[in-house]
Structure 1
Amino acid sequence: MLISRGASTRILKTLSNKGVHFKQAVRNSGHQYYYRSAVPEHKKSVIIRAEIVHGIVWWWILWHFWTEPDHVFGEFDYPDPSKWTDEELGIPEELE
């Protein structure tokens, strides 16, 4: 076991001496990282634009619920399942 550890350390040393580096990739997410600190307040213009977009989206949803409810609730009446036959339900005939 000691021989294998010694061999692995020697291999790593020779690789690091030849310019092969084992580095972790840098995450470039484009956002700041806040650890144990409060996130700064948004600008007033950003809040106003968000409220405007929020209002437009809800107007769009509620207007289409009011004017075109068939898109959500369906265009036709739901059939009465008690009137369905065994053939329509896929139930095989009973063999006597």
Structure 2
Amino acid sequence: MLLSRGLSTLKAIKFANRNNIQTLQSVRNSHAVNYRTAPEPPPKFILTIAEVVQGIAWWWVLWHIYTEPGHILGEFEYPDPRKWTDEELGIPPIE
């Protein structure tokens, strides 16, 4: 078994060495590749648009928390646990 696997591996290596090295490298034509270098900073208008969108998003979230707190806190009043009886809590009567 090892012999058959070894032969197929050697054949694969032999055929790989015959091919041109460029076929083994990945080609990336869609964007710039920054390998061990800092990426290029984004343009100023992109940063400005990002800040505006973030500001609108946070305004939307905080405004709705302020005007509609029921979405986070719940729509009903929390029951007062001091008013619960032992029977409701499942505590057996003391006898």
TM-score where L is the length of structure 1: 0.58
Alpha-carbon distance between aligned partners in 2 of 1:9 and 1:43, rounded to the nearest angstrom: 54
Alpha-carbon distance between aligned partners in 1 of 2:51 and 2:43, rounded to the nearest angstrom: 13
Gaps (5+ residues) in structure 2? 16-25
Gaps (5+ residues) in structure 1? 20-25
Alpha-carbon distance between aligned partners in 2 of 1:11 and 1:37, rounded to the nearest angstrom: 40
**C-alpha RMSD of matched pairs (Å):** 3.4
Deviations 1:21-59 (A, max 9, x none): xxxxx6x8x665434321210111111110110111111
Alpha-carbon distance between aligned partners in 2 of 1:87 and 1:39, rounded to the nearest angstrom: 67
Number of residue pairs the alignment of both structures matches: 82
**Runs ≥4 residues deviating over 6 A:** none
Whichever structure has more helix as a proportion of its residues is 2
TM-score where L is the length of structure 2: 0.59
Within 5 Å, give how 1:11-90 maps onto structure 2.
11-13=8-10, 16=12, 32-89=32-89
Alpha-carbon distance between aligned partners in 1 of 2:87 and 2:32, rounded to the nearest angstrom: 63
Where does residue 3 of structure 2 map in the other structure?
6
Alpha-carbon distance between aligned partners in 2 of 1:81 and 1:58, rounded to the nearest angstrom: 36
Percent identity, please.
Answer: 44
